[in-house]
């Protein structure tokens, strides 16, 4: 996050990716609020949200089918790495 907020790294994520990591975080941090955490992340990194990738998901094959949305969002965002 520091690299992305500092403009040294272009971080991208989707609302679906948010849901996954925030759910895992909240399992251990009940003191945090879902919406506030998501909003802070989105405000910290300019142009971070990826949308419009959903149509790519059915064509993607990977070892864990539940990860297809991550790959689809990366393709759509033209990410250099995951």
Q: Is 82 a domain residue?
A: no
pLDDT of residue 49 exceeding 90:
yes
Are 82 and 67 contacting, i.e. CB atoms less than 8 angstroms apart? no
pLDDT of residue 50 exceeding 90:
yes
Q: Which domain holds residue 42?
A: 2-77
Total number of domains constituting the chain? 1
State the sign of the Cα–Cα–Cα–Cα dihedral 60, 56, 34, 12.
positive
> What is the CB-side half-sphere exposure of residue 38 using CA atoms within 13 A?
16
CA distances from 57 to 50, 67, 72 (A): 14, 9, 6
What is the rounded average pLDDT of the residues 38-64? 94
Length of the chain: 82
Q: Is 29 a domain residue?
A: yes
Q: In the prediction, which pLDDT does 1 show? A: 82
pLDDT of residue 2 exceeding 90:
no
Q: Is 66 a domain residue?
A: yes
């Amino acid at each position: 996050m520091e690299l992305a907020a500092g403009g040294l790294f272009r971080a991208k994520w989707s609302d679906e990716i948010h849901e996954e990591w925030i759910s895992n975080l909240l399992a251990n941090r009940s003191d945090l609020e879902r919406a506030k955490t998501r909003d802070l992340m989105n405000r910290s990194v300019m142009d971070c949200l990826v949308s419009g990738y959903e149509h790519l998901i059915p064509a993607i094959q990977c070892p864990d089918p539940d990860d297809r949305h991550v790959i689809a969002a990366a393709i759509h965002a033209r990410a250099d790495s995951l």
